[in-house]
Amino acid sequence: MAKLCKSMDLHVIEDANEAFSGLRYHGSPQADLTMFSFGMLKHFTAFGGSVSIVRSTDGVVYQRMREIEKTYRKEENFKYFTRVMKALRLFMIFNSKDHFFISFI
């Protein structure tokens, strides 16, 4: 399918938002753009946010994404740290075999 898209001068976008598995999978090398998202309820949480891997050979996709990114609100480090600590506590609870951590919440 990717070859057909390329022959028609179309960008190939891989939506791997529910497929994040750590460093084991970096997306298809045939895709111009691969998107991974993270959230509190996903199995391999990164405590919020997302990663996009841009492989566009002409750079148009990358440049446009950078322009859009510059308009995003930046989160304060302490606020992000607080979210990470809350998520870490939940992660420890739900991944504990004896659920020892539940008594500390």
pLDDT along the chain (105 residues), means of 10: 88 80 81 78 54 78 85 79 78 66 50
Whole-model pTM? 0.55
- Per the CB < 8 A criterion, the answer to whether 70 and 88 are in contact is no
Candidates 41, 44, 46, 34; CA nearest to 2 is: 34
Question: Which DSSP state fits 17?
Answer: T
